[in-house]
Amino acid sequence: MNRTIKEATVKRYHYDSHAQLTAHLHDFIDAYNYGRRLKTLRGLTPYEYICKCWANEPERFTSNPHHQTPGPKTSDRSTFRSWRVKNAGFP
């Protein structure tokens, strides 16, 4: 994962400020979590896996992950990143 992030962000682009790097990194991580299917998760994306865990054990979550999906024209990232898992017992 670290190699993938470096190749897609730091090694490809020049950033004038730390804020630009942070914004691009957040965008890349969001796209990765919604688009990349992982063998470890049996072919699910990380977001699909979180939704599956929520469907099986909703009491472990403080909020519904379906409500945290960023949509078009969404500028507030803190809303998406605010959901937390009560117990970090899943891989």
pLDDT in tens, 2-49: 677 677 776 777 888 899 888 888 888 877 777 788 888 889 888 889
Task: Give the helix ranges, DSSP H, for the chain.
Answer: 2-8, 18-35, 46-56, 77-81
Asked whether the beta carbons of 54 and 62 are under 8 A apart, the reply is no
Is pLDDT of 81 > 50? no
pLDDT band of 53, cuts 50, 70, 90: very high
Asked whether the beta carbons of 5 and 25 are under 8 A apart, the reply is yes
Q: Hey, is 44 helix, strand or coil? A: strand
Domain spans in the chain, listed from the N-terminal domain onward: 1-36, 37-86
